[in-house]
């Protein structure tokens, strides 16, 4: 890429990034705001969204180790997820991008289209072992920009005691019909059915997508019959009392708190709740979200891509490629993804994770069926589509519009 591509970075691009990173499945928190100091041949800058990891953490030590193997020192700066992407755009404008950028996967296409990132074709990064569905989240215009460091996604947690008391065999839950039948039994037994997040933000879209995709719908046609059937499923659950009205305002955190009360049979939530599940005080299981007619629905992928930003000095790319290859090697991914509560992006490391912890098996299955939010070459179109989607979900669940009318209005707004 030519250095002049930085001129294409605009305030509009910053806005798109801010919307796209409103999602929830990735690390966040306050971080330092040190500027990149590229140009020093002996020092390479790495920006990441993991401020929770201090200088003495395993993650920071891995960065230093990879730097030592490449013969350079690492200057690491950690940012909040949304702050990081905006800083990356500003740094590119100013010509002082980090050498390695680890960024939330939905904004990879935005940064790529703005000319911030080099493609794997240009930087020769090997992505051959990465699962194609995960790699697709970093594709734009037929090129790939970076490689995933790991992935998380959504599945259904279930309370074994609640299901047992309701006479529900979890093995019978294979599609929407059997799931709804299970919820009916749970309600009849005096317990609560399912909780999820349908809040009017990216979190709401993130949680609706497995049902939308599980119906066979496409983001390019929000108001298809399949999309309407997915929103009708959620709307019917509220009408019948299988899901609480609180889902309209639930974040993924408050939804989890409802499930942790022990009264609910199911909760849609992510890999990042595994530690909390162990502390919940009741026996739980995990089930990949079923598709309308069976099988595992595609859930959206969370997690970050490790990418190499455009540099004025192209001679730095070779060392940056060494650093990224080290960070995402089979040798290092297992420990890194265990630390991040991520499923690895390669089958080889996924098998190792399941061998070490059998509870990760349904999560690996869910990740293998997962899909990037910007896949299908949606790129920078996704944030606008997502915004209209969550507005439609809110309208339908609140009763102000039918699912068909709500999604029809959403599609009109997108077009």
- Average pLDDT of the chain is 90
Residue 361 half-sphere exposure, CB side, CA atoms within 13 Å? 5
Sequence-ordered alpha helix ranges (H) in 7-79: 11-20, 58-70
Q: What is the model's pLDDT at position 379?
A: 83
Q: What is the CATH number of the domain that holds 243?
A: 3.40.190.10
Residue 109: CB partners within 8 Å, gap ≥ 6? 138, 139, 140, 145, 374, 378, 379, 380, 382
**pLDDT level of residue 133 (50, 70, 90 thresholds):** very high
Please indicate, yes or no, if residue 95 is contained in any of the structural domains.
Answer: yes
Pairing of strands 73-78, 139-140: unpaired
Please indicate, yes or no, if residue 61 is contained in any of the structural domains.
Answer: yes
Residue 174: CB partners within 8 Å, gap ≥ 6? 290, 294
Least confident segment among 11-15, 82-86, 393-397: 11-15
235 and 330 belong to one structural domain: no
Q: Give the position of tokens 């080889």.
A: 348
Q: What is the model's pLDDT at position 39?
A: 57
Integer Cα distance of 393 and 402 in angstroms: 10
Q: How many CB atoms lie within 10 A of CB 274?
A: 18
228 and 280 belong to one structural domain: yes
86 and 18 belong to one structural domain: yes
Pairing of strands 43-48, 73-78: parallel
Q: CA dist 280 to 56, 174, 277, 289, 349, Å?
A: 30, 25, 5, 21, 28
Q: CA dist 204 to 24, 212, 225, 247, 337, Å?
A: 10, 12, 20, 9, 26
Residue 139 half-sphere exposure, CB side, CA atoms within 13 Å? 17
307 and 225 belong to one structural domain: no
247 and 142 belong to one structural domain: no
264 and 395 belong to one structural domain: yes
Residue 357: CB partners within 8 Å, gap ≥ 6? none
Question: Using the 8-state DSSP alphabet, how is residue 309 labeled?
Answer: B
136 and 90 belong to one structural domain: yes
Whether pLDDT at 18 is above 60: no
249 and 322 belong to one structural domain: no
Integer Cα distance of 237 and 191 in angstroms: 14
For 24-78, how does the pLDDT look when each residue is reduced to its tens digit (9 = 90+)?
A: 444 333 333 333 444 578 999 999 999 989 999 999 999 999 999 999 999 999 9
Q: CA dist 302 to 119, 244, 267, 383, Å?
A: 21, 26, 18, 15
For 337-394, how does the pLDDT look when each residue is reduced to its tens digit (9 = 90+)?
A: 988 889 999 999 999 999 999 999 999 999 999 999 988 878 889 989 999 999 999 9
Integer Cα distance of 365 and 194 in angstroms: 21
Q: What is the model's pLDDT at position 338?
A: 86
Please indicate, yes or no, if residue 23 is contained in any of the structural domains.
Answer: yes
Q: What is the model's pLDDT at position 82?
A: 72
> What total number of domains does the chain contain?
2
Please indicate, yes or no, if residue 374 is contained in any of the structural domains.
Answer: no
Whether pLDDT at 5 is above 60: no
**Taking the model in full, what pTM does it have?**
0.84
Question: Using the 8-state DSSP alphabet, how is residue 377 labeled?
Answer: T
Name which residue leads in pLDDT, 10 or 271: 271
60 and 189 belong to one structural domain: no
160 and 145 belong to one structural domain: no
291 and 391 belong to one structural domain: yes
Please report, rounded to a whole number, the percentage of residues in the chain having pLDDT higher than 70: 91
Please indicate, yes or no, if residue 168 is contained in any of the structural domains.
Answer: yes
Residue 229: CB partners within 8 Å, gap ≥ 6? 215, 292
Whether pLDDT at 279 is above 90: yes
The domain of 318 spans: 3-152+301-369
Integer Cα distance of 118 and 111 in angstroms: 10
181 and 58 belong to one structural domain: no
For 154-212, how does the pLDDT look when each residue is reduced to its tens digit (9 = 90+)?
A: 999 999 999 999 999 999 999 999 999 999 999 999 999 999 999 999 999 999 999 99
For 321-333, how does the pLDDT look when each residue is reduced to its tens digit (9 = 90+)?
A: 999 999 999 999 9
Summarize the confidence of residues 105-131 as an average pLDDT. 94
């Amino acid at each position: 890429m030519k250095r002049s591509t930085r001129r294409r970075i605009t305030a509009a691009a910053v806005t798109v990034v801010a919307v796209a990173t409103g999602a929830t499945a990735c690390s966040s928190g306050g971080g330092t705001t040190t500027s990149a100091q590229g140009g020093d041949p002996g020092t390479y800058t790495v920006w990441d969204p993991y401020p929770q990891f201090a200088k003495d953490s395993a993650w920071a030590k891995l960065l230093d180790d990879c730097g030592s193997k490449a013969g350079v020192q690492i200057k690491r700066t950690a940012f909040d997820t949304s702050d990081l992407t905006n800083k990356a755009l500003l740094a590119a404008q100013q010509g002082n991008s980090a050498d390695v950028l680890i960024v939330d996967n939905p904004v990879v296409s935005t940064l790529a289209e703005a000319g911030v990132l080099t493609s794997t074709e240009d930087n020769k990064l090997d992505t051959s072992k990465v699962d194609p569905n995960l790699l697709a989240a970093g594709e734009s215009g037929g090129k790939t920009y970076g490689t995933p460091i790991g992935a998380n996604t959504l599945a259904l947690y279930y309370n074994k005691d609640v299901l047992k008391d309701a006479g529900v065999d979890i093995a019978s839950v294979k599609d929407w019909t059997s799931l709804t039948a299970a919820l009916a039994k749970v309600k009849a037994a005096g317990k609560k059915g399912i909780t999820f997040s349908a809040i009017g933000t990216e979190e709401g879209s993130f949680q609706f997508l497995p049902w939308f995709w599980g119906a066979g719908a496409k983001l390019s046609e929000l108001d298809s019959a399949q999309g309407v059937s997915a929103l009708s499923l959620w709307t019917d659950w509220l009408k019948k009392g299988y899901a609480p009205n609180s889902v309209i305002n639930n974040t993924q955190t408050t939804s989890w708190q409802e499930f942790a009360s022990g009264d609910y049979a199911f909760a849609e939530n992510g890999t990042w709740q595994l530690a909390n599940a162990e502390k919940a005080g009741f026996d739980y299981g995990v089930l990949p979200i079923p598709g309308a007619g069976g099988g595992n629905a595609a859930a959206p992928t969370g997690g970050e891509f490790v990418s190499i930003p455009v540099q004025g000095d192209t001679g730095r790319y070779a060392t940056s490629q060494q650093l990224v290859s080290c960070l995402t090697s089979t040798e290092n991914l297992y420990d890194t993804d265990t630390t991040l509560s991520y499923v690895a992006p390669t089958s080889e490391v996924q098998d190792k994770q399941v061998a070490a912890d059998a509870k990760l098996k349904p999560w690996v299955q869910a990740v293998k069926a997962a899909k990037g939010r910007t896949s299908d070459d949606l790129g920078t179109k996704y944030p606008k589509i997502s915004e209209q989607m969550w507005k439609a979900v809110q309208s339908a669940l609140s009763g102000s519009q039918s699912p068909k009318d709500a999604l029809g209005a959403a599609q009109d707004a997108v077009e």
